[in-house]
Amino acid sequence: MIQEIVKRLDPLPPKSKFIIFGGGFSGQRIASLGRHLGTKVLCSRRKENSKGADFIFNTDKEVPNEIFDGATHVLSCIPPLLSGEDPVLHKLKTQLLNSKNIKWVGYLSTTGVYGDTNGEWVNENTFPNPQQERSIRRFSCEKQWLDTKLPVQILRLPGIYGPGRSVFESLLAGTTKMIDKPGQVFSRVHVDDIAGAILFLINLYSQGKNPSVVNIADNLPTNNLEVIAFAAKIAKKSLPSNVPFEIAKETMSPMALSFWQENRKVDNKLLCKTLGYSLIYPNFKSGLKNCFSKLKMK
């Protein structure tokens, strides 16, 4: 329940105006939490009439200048363009730099910028070593944001899941694949913790606790088989047989393959110990129980 998250957080200062570019899965949840905390939030999508579109932003359309009137907080949830440019900076850098009330700018990045570490932990002091093209573009966008000299905070995310986007969707559709790659782990984060951590970080930022990069991840990087088996048990579904990675990779999309080629554990001590954020879903078990409860409500 969003009210449970609201109780854990302080509201943003009165008269805050929060602009979110990219009201997709995470953007909408962050917007909803911001509104429940009493903040005015405007969220972009690319097409007119899309659900949750307060304004339209895409790279071939002008955004009304008034969007930034009084804006105090700005977040981009939009991935890089294929050119490596950041879509928001590409179109709106001048307007952003001219917006005098901005107190905080967030950029949702990925932990893919750390590259492959053979299963070792990465934290914010680990020097990024992006190996995939998309992670190279992402690291370039991080730099573009930091170079603006706005009060930017880069938020690095591992695999995002939550109600409507979790292993249950493929389990119920009968399309789950039990890919077996010994030693492989994935880090993940529940979308409510992205929203909760961001609103928490915004308030800390104004108190001078403002690291320029923060990982938002749960406590328990885990092998995918364990995650699927747990979900199957809750949903009372049987599982297909395991498929060795070496066989599964023959029919994988290049995108899926690129995820399986990297192995790392994402450390969240900066967020959860140093800064003091308390995770709502500390691991996949509590997070999946939440996703399943929402499925049952449908």
Ligand X SMILES: NC(=O)c1ccc[n+]([C@@H]2O[C@H](COP(=O)([O-])OP(=O)(O)OC[C@H]3O[C@@H](n4cnc5c(N)ncnc54)[C@H](OP(=O)(O)O)[C@@H]3O)[C@@H](O)[C@H]2O)c1
Piece of the chain touching ligand X by CB under 6 A; list 21-29, 170-178, 203-211, 257-265: 21-29
- Report the residue number, 101 or 170, with the smaller CB distance to ligand X: 170
- Report the residue number, 194 or 248, with the smaller CB distance to ligand X: 194
Map 166-222 to HEC letters. CHHHHHHHCCCCEEECCCCCECEEEHHHHHHHHHHHHHHHCCCCCCCEEECCCCCCE
> Is there binding between residue 163 and ligand X (CB under 6 A)?
no
- Report the residue number, 70 or 79, with the smaller CB distance to ligand X: 79
Residue 258 tokens read as 């690129």
- Report the residue number, 45 or 73, with the smaller CB distance to ligand X: 45
> Is there binding between residue 87 and ligand X (CB under 6 A)?
yes
> Is there binding between residue 214 and ligand X (CB under 6 A)?
no
Sequence-distant (≥ 6) Cβ neighbours of residue 133 within 8 angstroms: none
DSSP state of 21: E
Do 267 and 204 touch, CB atoms closer than 8 A? no
Sequence-distant (≥ 6) Cβ neighbours of residue 24 within 8 angstroms: 45, 77
Coarse DSSP helix, strand, coil percentages of the chain, rounded to the nearest 5 percent: 40, 20, 40
Do strands 17-21 and 73-76 pair parallel, antiparallel, or not at all (unpaired)? parallel
- Report the residue number, 206 or 263, with the smaller CB distance to ligand X: 263
Closest chain position to ligand X (CB): 24
- Report the residue number, 131 or 206, with the smaller CB distance to ligand X: 131
Interaction mask 92-131, ligand X, x per CB under 6 A: ----------------x-x---------------------
> Is there binding between residue 290 and ligand X (CB under 6 A)?
no
> Is there binding between residue 27 and ligand X (CB under 6 A)?
yes
- Report the residue number, 17 or 190, with the smaller CB distance to ligand X: 190
Phi-psi category of residue 87: left, alpha or beta, with phi > 0 → left and psi -120 to 50 → alpha: alpha
> Is there binding between residue 215 and ligand X (CB under 6 A)?
no
In the list 5, 16, 18, 22, the residue contacting ligand X (rule: CB under 6 A) is 22
Quote the least distance from Cβ 30 to ligand X, whole Å.
9
> Is there binding between residue 25 and ligand X (CB under 6 A)?
yes
For 93, list phi and psi in degrees, rounded to 5: -55, -45
> Is there binding between residue 57 and ligand X (CB under 6 A)?
yes
Dihedral sign computed on CA atoms, order 109, 213, 157, 112: positive
Piece of the chain touching ligand X by CB under 6 A; list 20-28, 179-187, 232-240, 289-297: 20-28
Place of tokens 């990925």: 110
Q: For binding to ligand X (CB under 6 A), which residues are involved?
A: 22-27, 45-47, 50, 57-59, 77-79, 87, 108, 110, 157, 159-160
